[in-house]
Amino acid sequence: MKDRFVIGVIAFVSAMFVWVGYSFYKAYQPKPIVLQGEIDAQSYNVSSKLPGRILKIYVKEGQMVEVGDEIFSIASPEVEAKLKQAQAAKAAAKAQKQQAHKGARKQEIKAAFEQYYKAKAAQELMEKTYKRVQKLYDEGVVSEQKRDEVYTKYKASQYTTNAAYQIAQMAKEGARVEVKKAADAQERVYEGKIDEVNAYLKETKQYAFHKGEVERILIHEGELSPTGFPVVSLLDMDDSWVRVSVREDYLHYFTKGNKVTAKIPALGDKLYDFEVSYIAPQGDYATWKATESGKGFDMKSFEVHLKPLQKIKNLRVGMSVLIKLGE
């Protein structure tokens, strides 16, 4: 009986020694390094080139959209007014172009030639008058002064006839080539302005240029939207990653293309595989640890991105991700 008691005491003491030894062993083992990151994803902002009032929002927050789905429409009376102005200016330029190419009207051409015929008749009369006066001058009937006056009128009638002829020819030929080209170019200018305004009018209705989930509606129906301001933001969870800040003394665990296993507490205890896709080329002091403080040496941190190797169901932006190092 006594031997059994002694054996029991020895066994108990031995067990205590083993337990205490194991406890000391575990206590002095280095603890695993755990880094905490968070889920991030690519976002897209749908905005308009035009300022105006939001007419209609076609989506709701949380809705999934595909490329080409209507997102919102905007009312811009100013652009519509500019279109009317551009159309009126083009019509005026077109009329000027037609006038330049067609030239003067038949009545204008006829009137110009009648002025020429009138001047020519006057010239013929002055020519006959001059010849008569010259003959009288030769006979000594009229003075040289009189002869010179008639001669001057005769020469003036020639110039008047020639000028009238040139005016009639210009009316017949129409505008110069340079004027026609200028009229053509002016019409094209206003055609370009119409195209420009029409391009802006297309911006009054915006469509999804990338698939994703509607994350937030920033401007609602009836509110004014400035130029380029985001109206609806989309989030593409298929293009997600883990963003984690890694202290430089742990950076050797992360090599581009390396595989990393991590846990997402919000999704349970399951482990997920990730690949290192990005390491910031420059560190910062957002997270740092002072070491050798007497010598003034600090640890910098580098942003690291981890891409999931498989699609993770129910993943959301902002979820925490735990990464154990050194295991």
pLDDT tens for residues 233-248? 999 999 999 999 998 8
Q: Phi and psi at residue 157, in whole multiples of 5°?
A: -65, -30
Q: Phi and psi at residue 59, in whole multiples of 5°?
A: -125, 165
Q: What pLDDT is stored for residue 122 in this prediction?
A: 82
Q: What pLDDT is stored for residue 232 in this prediction?
A: 95
Angle at 304 between CA 299 and CA 305, to 5 degrees: 170
Q: What pLDDT is stored for residue 89 in this prediction?
A: 75
Distance (Å, rounded) from C-alpha 279 to C-alpha 306? 9
Q: What pLDDT is stored for residue 248 in this prediction?
A: 86
Q: What pLDDT is stored for residue 65 in this prediction?
A: 95
pTM of the model: 0.59
45 alpha-carbon distance from chain centroid = 12
Q: Find out whether 321 and 38 touch, Cβ atoms under 8 Å.
A: yes
Considering only CA atoms, give the Rg of the chain. Answer: 48
Burial of 77 (0-12, 13-18, 19+ CB in 10 A): exposed
Name the token pair of 103.
């030239």
Nearest Cα neighbor of 100 from 222, 187, 30 is 187
- Rounded to whole angstroms, what are the CA distances from 297 to 283, 288, 291? 14, 10, 6
Q: What pLDDT is stored for residue 261 in this prediction?
A: 92
Q: Find out whether 118 and 167 touch, Cβ atoms under 8 Å.
A: no
Residues of the chain with pLDDT under 50: 27, 286-293
Q: What pLDDT is stored for residue 46 in this prediction?
A: 94
Amino acid at 7: I
Q: Work out whether strand 33-47 and strand 64-65 pair parallel, antiparallel, or are unpaired.
A: unpaired
**Could you tell me which residues come within 8 angstroms of residue 223 by beta carbon, excluding any fewer than 6 positions away?**
53, 54
Q: Find out whether 55 and 219 touch, Cβ atoms under 8 Å.
A: no
- Could you tell me the fold of the domain covering 31-66+217-221+225-325? Elongation Factor Tu (Ef-tu); domain 3 (2.40.30)
